[in-house]
Amino acid sequence: MKKIILLTTLLISLLFGCSKTGEEYFSEAANLYKNKKYDEAILLYKKACEKENLKGCMFLAEIYKKGKVVPADNNTADSYYKKSFILADKYCINNNQNACKTLSFLYENGFGVDKDLDKADNAALKACNLGDGTACFYLARVNADNITKFIDLSDKACQNNMAYACLVLGNTYITGFNESMAVMQKDIEKGISYIKKACEINNEICANLADIYISGDDIAQDYETAVTFYETALKYYETLCDEKNNDSPACRSIDIIKSKYSFDNKTIY
C-alpha cells in the first residue's frame, strides 16, 4: 500500500511539479535579462505570457517595438500588445491596479486597441482609486487647467506615496500656480508640509527643501534646518555615487550640495 502511495505521489510530482506560474516564469526571466542572458530570458518571458502574465506580455511587446535585444518587429509587437490588452482589461475588471494602469497606457497610445483617451482616463481613474499614485498624478496633469481637480488628484498621488507629486503640489501652493499656470491662493505652510512629505518618501528631494530654507524667499531663512535637509540628501546620494563613475548624476548632485554647504565648518555659501 505504501509503495502505491509513493508511486502515486511521484507520478503527480512528475505531471504537475514542474508547472510554474506566470509570475514565477516572469521573475526568472527578469533575473536572466538582468544578467544579460537575453535568449534564455526571452524564452521565459514568452512562457510567462503564455501563462497570462501581463507583465511578461508587455515586456515582449516593448522589446519587439523598440528593437531592444531582438530586431524590431511591429507585427510581433502588435500581437503582444493585443494579448496585453485582453489581459489588462480582464484583470482591471477584477480590480488589479497595475492592470488598470496598463490598460490606460494602451488606450492612450493605441497599442493593441484603438486609441481612446476617454477610456484611458477612466482606466487611470480606477487605478488611482485602487491606490496607484502614478495613475493619480497622470490624471492630475491631464486636468492641470482645472486647479481644483489638479490639487485633488495630486494630493491622492501624494497620499499614495508618489514623492514627485508631493513636491509638485508643494511648489504649487508656494508659488500660487501650477505647470499650466492655473492660479490658486498661496499657502506657504501647506506647501512646505507637502515638500516635507516628499522628502520623507524620497530623501533626494530633501535638497529642494533645504534650498527653500536657504533662500528666505518664502519663509524666514533657517540655516540649521537647511543643513539638516542637505545632510539627509547627501547621505542618499552617497549610496548611489560609485567612485569608479564620479561623473554620474548622483555624484554630480553631491558636488552641487557641497558647493552650497561646507560640512567641515557647517557653513552654507
Enter the DSSP assignment of 247. Answer: T
Which residues, other chains included, contact 205 with Cβ-Cβ below 8 Å and sequence gap of 6+?
163, 166, 167, 195, 198, 199, 233
Long-range contacts of 206-212 (CB under 8 A, 24+ apart): 206/230, 206/232, 206/233, 206/236, 207/233, 207/253, 207/256, 207/257, 208/167, 210/260, 211/260, 212/174
> What sign does the CA torsion over 232, 151, 157, 115 have?
negative
The identity of residue 254, as a single letter, is I
Least Cα distance to 189 among 207, 174, 205 occurs for: 174
> Which of 209, 170, 162, 205 is CA-nearest to residue 186?
170
Assign 247 a pLDDT band (cuts: 50, 70, 90): confident
CA-based torsion, 19, 25, 29, 32: positive or negative: negative
Please choose, from the candidates 42, 61, 50, the residue with its C-alpha nearest in 3D space to the C-alpha of residue 21: 50
Q: Using a pLDDT cut of 90, give the percent of the chain over it.
A: 84
Q: Is the pLDDT at 265 greater than 50, yes or no?
A: no
CB 218 within 8 A of CB 211: no
Task: Report the top-level CATH class of 21-124.
Answer: mainly alpha
Of the listed ranges 4-13, 149-158, 221-230, the least confidently predicted one is 4-13
How high is the pLDDT of residue 263? 52
Cβ-contact 91, 54 below 8 angstroms: yes
pLDDT of residue 17: 45
pTM of the model: 0.83
Dihedral over alpha carbons 257, 259, 260, 266 (to 10 degrees): 90
pLDDT for residue 244: 65
Q: How confident is the model at residue 242 (pLDDT cuts 50, 70, 90)?
A: confident
- The ranges assigned to domains in the chain are 21-124, 131-201, 205-269
Rounded mean pLDDT of the chain? 91
Is 60 exceeded by the pLDDT of residue 11?
no
pLDDT-derived band at 211 (thresholds 50, 70, 90) equals: very high
- Contact yes or no for 256/248 (Cβ under 8 A): no
pLDDT surpassing 80 at residue 18: no
Predicted confidence (pLDDT) at residue 12 exceeds the cutoff of 80: no
For 133, residues 6+ apart whose C-beta sits below 8 A from its C-beta are 156, 157, 158, 159, 160, 161, 162, 165
201 vs 206: CA distance, rounded Å: 10
How confident is the model over 20-42, as a mean pLDDT?
A: 97
Q: Which residue has the higher pLDDT, 68 or 126?
A: 126
Handedness of CA 104, 107, 110, 112 (dihedral sign): positive
